[in-house]
């Protein structure tokens, strides 16, 4: 018997379209994060092919993150103002064109410019993609489960970037790594209108231009100084000068946001205890994961003399554990709640860092190292999934783009700050040991181990602080799997909280 438009056939068609839409958004999210790490194992080959200095190589490595993190809050707000799908398509187009320019360009200028413009496109696309998840899954419980998967995609993208770079730089050329971003961008631009909703109506408010300029400049300048800390001492003007300038610009941003009628980022939005705690978890989680990728890539290639391909292969257990945990994250949050999964993930990740931090100049891979490369991603997948759900709880549809920008900003700034601090400490510790007579391999390994153990301590402390900060949040959303949507409609948010989100 034929079914009407509201019958099973229609429901099946809607479900299929929703699935395709989420797959497209997920692919965009993965490739935007993949672009952060996709050059890491290939940096020696890039330096050799293009004849780059150490300073130029650092800029190439950091350019994407500088523009991505600096523009994310503005990108999120533009998505609210212009429309989410339109912002996604525009961002994907810019990202794809810049990827092609970076991969095909003949020299340093093209690669550097392409990487920077990649970040501009990513800053517009990433918040829009996250906010469109809400439009695909308006039901509270399904949205929470979708966000749990979404949080795991970030970690998978970072690992995939490492694997992609190591493979193509060994078998063909590092330039081929840019093919994946180009292809995904083309698919996103072509398919967005067919499989994605347009999202909520654009917000009709005036853009906070002074706030946008200050936060973009502050994050970019501060991040540049922190990136330079990996190559120069903290006392160098090129390090502390931009860091101080960035902090001052961000302080001015806070002052402006307190005074304007329609702030870019309402400070009350960040001051909510559950959101601040979740954003910290995203920040420290991304910092810890990037530290592992960076230090272990150097360890395998410089201390253990492994090829880029073998270095990438060493991270396969990491990727597998992360994918499996990400697939289960929605169920875990449904049973235990976002808070418990997030805090538990911090504890597990701390244990993984301790295991990896036991490395030495001749430590076997199939021991504590392998165990850590399985345990840590299990924890970090829980951290990203749980914190994404908790951070977006109670956000109105009209601010979903902003919320996505804030979460992604925490994820992008974390590696910059974390690496600057931990790499500096690792280098200082290694230099002390080398001065005391240790071999280069032994001192370098000990420096890396020292930094990883410090990161483990930071994760453990964050778990304790997060548990204490969230202990009074006993609402249904945190106790029972995020039943309260991370982005409920204004009417539901008002009914549950007694008012709209700040």
pLDDT in tens, 126-160: 989 988 988 888 877 787 788 778 877 877 787 78
Of the candidates 180, 157, 47, the residue with the CA atom closest to the CA atom of residue 107: 47
pLDDT at 199: 72
Q: Which residue spans within 128-275 are E strands per DSSP?
A: none
Which residue bears the tokens 């839409």? 21
Do the Cβ atoms of 333 and 485 come closer than 8 Å?
Answer: no
The set of residues, in sequence order, having a beta carbon less than 8 Å from that of 196 and lying 6+ positions away, is 21, 24, 25, 85, 88, 132, 135, 136
Tokens encoding 8: 């099973």
How far, in Å, CA of 306 to CA of 296, rounded? 11
**Domain range for 283:** 15-207+264-497
* Torsion sign over Cα 210, 212, 91, 291: positive
How far, in Å, CA of 175 to CA of 405, rounded? 29
pLDDT at 484: 36
Instruction: Give a yes or no: residue 183 inside a domain.
Output: yes
Task: For residue 502, name the pLDDT band (cuts at 50, 70, 90).
Answer: very low
Task: Identify the domain boundary among 199, 230, 263.
Answer: 263
Claim to verify: residue 59 and residue 173 sit in the same structural domain: yes
Task: For residue 1, name the pLDDT band (cuts at 50, 70, 90).
Answer: very low
Instruction: Give a yes or no: residue 216 inside a domain.
Output: yes
Query: Which of the pair, 26 or 5, is modelled with greater confidence?
Result: 26
Claim to verify: residue 356 and residue 408 sit in the same structural domain: yes
Distance of CA 412 to the CA centre of its chain: 5
Instruction: Give a yes or no: residue 379 inside a domain.
Output: yes
Claim to verify: residue 408 and residue 355 sit in the same structural domain: yes
In this prediction the pTM is 0.77
Claim to verify: residue 130 and residue 215 sit in the same structural domain: no
The set of residues, in sequence order, having a beta carbon less than 8 Å from that of 217 and lying 6+ positions away, is 70, 246, 249
Claim to verify: residue 248 and residue 272 sit in the same structural domain: no
Instruction: Give a yes or no: residue 502 inside a domain.
Output: no
Our count of domains for the chain comes to: 2
Tokens encoding 118: 């990649």
Checking phi first, is residue 392 left (phi over 0); if not, alpha (psi -120 to 50) or beta? Answer: alpha
Claim to verify: residue 346 and residue 455 sit in the same structural domain: yes
The set of residues, in sequence order, having a beta carbon less than 8 Å from that of 68 and lying 6+ positions away, is 32, 36, 118, 119, 122, 123, 126, 412
Claim to verify: residue 93 and residue 109 sit in the same structural domain: yes
Residues in the chain, how many? 502
Percent share of the chain, pLDDT over 70: 88
Task: Identify the domain boundary among 248, 263, 278.
Answer: 263
Claim to verify: residue 341 and residue 217 sit in the same structural domain: no
pLDDT in tens, 232-260: 787 888 888 998 999 999 999 889 888 88
Mean pLDDT of the chain: 82
């Amino acid at each position: 018997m034929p079914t009407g438009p509201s019958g099973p056939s229609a429901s099946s068609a809607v479900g299929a379209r929703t699935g395709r839409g989420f797959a497209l958004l997920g692919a965009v999210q993965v490739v935007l994060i993949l672009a952060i790490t996709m050059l890491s194992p290939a940096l020696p080959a890039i330096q050799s092919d293009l004849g780059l200095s150490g300073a130029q190589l650092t800029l190439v490595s950091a350019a994407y993150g500088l523009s991505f993190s600096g523009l994310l809050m503005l990108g999120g707000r533009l998505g609210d103002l212009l429309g989410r799908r339109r912002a996604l398509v525009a961002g994907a187009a810019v990202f794809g064109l810049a990827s092609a320019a970076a991969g095909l360009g003949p020299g340093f200028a093209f690669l550097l410019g392409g990487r920077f413009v990649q970040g501009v496109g990513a800053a517009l696309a990433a918040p829009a993609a996250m906010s469109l998840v809400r439009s695909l899954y308006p039901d509270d419980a399904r949205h929470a489960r979708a966000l749990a998967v979404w949080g795991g995609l970030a970690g998978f993208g970072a690992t995939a970037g490492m694997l992609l770079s190591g493979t193509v730089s060994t078998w063909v050329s590092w330039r081929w790594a840019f093919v994946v971003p180009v292809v995904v961008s083309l698919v996103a631009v072509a398919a967005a209108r067919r499989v994605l909703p347009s999202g909520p109506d654009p917000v009709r408010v005036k853009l906070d231009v002074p706030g946008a300029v200050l936060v973009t400049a502050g994050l970019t300048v501060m991040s540049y100084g922190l990136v330079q800390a990996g190559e120069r001492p903290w006392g160098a003007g090129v390090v502390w000068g931009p860091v101080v300038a960035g902090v001052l610009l961000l302080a001015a941003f806070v002052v402006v946001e307190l005074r304007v009628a329609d702030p870019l980022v309402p400070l009350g939005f960040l001051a909510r205890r559950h959101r601040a705690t979740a954003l910290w978890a995203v920040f420290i989680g991304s910092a810890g994961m990037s530290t592992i990728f960076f230090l272990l890539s150097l360890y395998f290639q410089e201390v253990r003399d492994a090829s880029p391909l073998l270095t990438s292969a060493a991270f396969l257990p990491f990727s597998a554990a992360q994918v499996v945990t990400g697939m289960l994250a929605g169920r875990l949050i449904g049973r235990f709640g976002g808070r418990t999964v997030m805090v538990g993930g911090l504890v597990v990740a701390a244990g993984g860092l301790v295991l990896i931090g036991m490395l030495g100049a001749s430590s076997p891979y199939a021991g504590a190292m392998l165990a850590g490369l399985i345990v840590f991603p299990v924890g970090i997948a829980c951290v990203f999934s749980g914190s994404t759900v908790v951070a977006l709880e109670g956000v109105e549809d009209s601010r979903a783009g902003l919320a996505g920008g804030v979460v992604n900003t925490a994820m992008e700034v974390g590696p910059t700050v974390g690496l600057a601090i931990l790499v500096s400490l690792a280098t200082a510790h290694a230099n002390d040991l080398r001065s005391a007579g240790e071999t280069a391999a032994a001192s370098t390994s000990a420096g890396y181990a020292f930094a990883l153990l410090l990161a483990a301590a930071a994760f453990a402390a964050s778990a304790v602080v997060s548990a204490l900060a969230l202990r009074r949040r006993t609402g249904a959303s945190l106790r029972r799997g995020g039943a309260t949507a991370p982005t409920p409609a204004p009417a539901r948010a008002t009914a549950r909280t007694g008012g709209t989100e700040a």
